[in-house]
Every structure is written in structure tokens, then in C-alpha cells.
Structure 1
Amino acid sequence: MNTREGQAQALFRSYSRNSNAALLAPDSADIDALTGVFADHFVGAGPAGVMGGTKDSSFPDILRQGFRNYRAIGGTRFEIIALDVEMLDDANAMVRADWEFDYLRSHDGAKGTIAFRNIYFVNFAGGEAKIFAWITPDEAQAMKDHGLI
């Protein structure tokens, strides 16, 4: 594993750890660490379309609210369980991250896990690994399929 691959692995281990902590306690989460994994500008794509964003002053609140929402629907664990880093060139990598989202449904006490793969694009400008793009599956449909929304 080269240095850049190691940086990407470390970035996603931190992202996973901090995402799970934010799910468990959104109001006391290390939001700076979570926002720190993203580039100043980013793009996301999924079944609903493509969106672009800027890591501005509203970004931490958006992340915090997202974790509150996951918790409100019964989320109990949110972690990356497997990573695959593919260097595209000296400055960019594609990372396939397999996530698991465990839940406890409030209306019937049923437990379950939603497994999904996100694909991320990471840039190493300035010597730091930062996520600048991602591709996600239909999260809302998965939540509906599991009776969470």
C-alpha cells in the first residue's frame, strides 16, 4: 500500500468512527472532524440526480441534522465495514466503501441492518486526502423498504 492509499484508508476509518459517534450522540459529535473529510466544493450523485455543494458555514448544521434524522428513525450503528482504494493517478483515488446502518424500529422493536456501497472520489491536493465526490444508492428507498420512513 502506498502513502496515498494509506491516507485514504485513514480518512475513511476516521469518517466511519465519527459518523457512528454522530449517530449515537448528534449534539455532541465531533462535527469538525466530519466536515474535515470533505473538500471545499463537492458533488454527489444518486438516483434522484446530481447535486453540488460548498463546505460553507451551514455545512456542519446540515451534517448534524442528518445524523439527528438517522437517530430519529431508529439508527443504532453506522459504520464502514470494508474499503477498497483504487489510485486513479498521483492525486486522485476512487474508494468503494461498504457501509452498514443498524436500526431498531420504534413501532415494533424490529432490528435490522441496511448494507450499501458508496463510491467516493478523493483528491490529495496540499498533501491531505479530501472527499470531493460520491455516488450513492437510493437511501430513501432502502429506508422505506425497511419500514423506517
Structure 2
Amino acid sequence: MEEKRIHEFFKRYQDIFRQGLKNEANMEQVASSYATAFIAASPARVMAGQNDEQLKQVMRQGFERYRQLGTKDMTLRGIRIAPIDAHHCLAHVAWTATYDRGAAPDVSIDFDVHYFVQQLDGDPKVFGWVSGDEQALLRQHGIV
């Protein structure tokens, strides 16, 4: 698994997320970032899902929620890759989300997400991720 391809993948992922914040995301492109099935874990829950129409709908709703919260940008700060084997890695990805607070100054929040990535014959695909307590972080910074 080439680290360069993983870095390129997450740069594209950042671009896709930014398009979603503008309500311009191509949902086929969004879905193409994920494997046919995936797992997700946070302090709120652990879930498993399929890369299907429901994923696209959940992603649309997620982008809408971020827009309602005033999220205006999502910036990739860094990536640290831990190889697992020839086809899998754990990518520790550092993000900064910037929120428009209207008359108040923008708020930027740093956070990390840990992605399980698989690369077989084609492009890398996310098959899982672990994130922190997003709601607590948003409350802490006065976003919600």
C-alpha cells in the first residue's frame, strides 16, 4: 500500500467534503470513497452499514446538518499512516473544521478521525472509522 496514494485519497476526500458543505457534492463520488460495507465507532455508538442508497442519503443529511451548524470549511491538517498489511492501513487523520458564527468571530475546531483503509486493485476505500465525541466538542466550543 503506497502512502502517497493514501495522502492523495484524503486530499480528494477533503475536496468532496468541501463540495458537500456547499451543497454541491456528487453523491456517487462520495460513495466511491467507501468500501461495499463499513463500520463506524464513536462514544455515541458503533454501527455497521452498506455502501448503498441509504449511505448516500445519510451523507446528504450529514452535509445538511454541518451547513446548519455553520460549518464553512473542513481542512486536512495531517495524516499519519500505520500499515497493517499489503492491502490495509490505519490512517490517523487530523482535521480542522471552521464554523461561521455570524456576527461573532469564526470558530475553528481541531479533531482527529482514525480511518481503516483498504486498497486492492483500484483506489483506496474507507471500510471503517473511529471518531471522538463530536457533540461534546461542539458543545465545548459553543456551536450547539
What is the TM-score when the length of structure 2 is the normalising length?
Answer: 0.92
Contact in 2 for aligned 1:19/1:79 (Cα 8 Å) = no
Task: Give the CA RMSD over aligned residues.
Answer: 1.4
Q: Which amino acid aligns with 1:128?
A: D
What does 1:49-128 align with in structure 2 at a 5 Å threshold? 49-106=45-102, 109-128=104-123
Equivalent-residue separation in structure 2 for 1:33 and 1:5 (angstroms): 21
Selected match of 1:18 from 16, 19, 23: 16
Letter in 1 for 2:105: A
Structure 1 segment 120-139 matched on structure 2, within 5 A? 120-139=115-134
Aligned-partner Cα distance in 1 for 2:19–2:53: 21
Question: Quick check: 1:9–1:85 contact (8 Å CA) kept in 2?
Answer: no
Show the counterpart of 1:33. 29
Percent of aligned pairs with the same amino acid: 26
Do 2:49 and 2:55's aligned partners in 1 also have CA atoms closer than 8 Å? no
Aligned residues: 144
Q: Structure 2: any 5+ residue segments left out of the alignment?
A: none
Letter in 2 for 1:146: H
Displaced runs of 4+ in structure 1, greater than 3 A? none
Shift of 1:79: 2.0
SS in 2 for 1:97: strand
Structure 1: tracts of 5 or more residues without a match: none
Structure 2: how far apart are the matches of 1:56 and 1:30? 14
TM (norm. structure 1) is 0.89
2:30 aligns to what SS in structure 1? helix
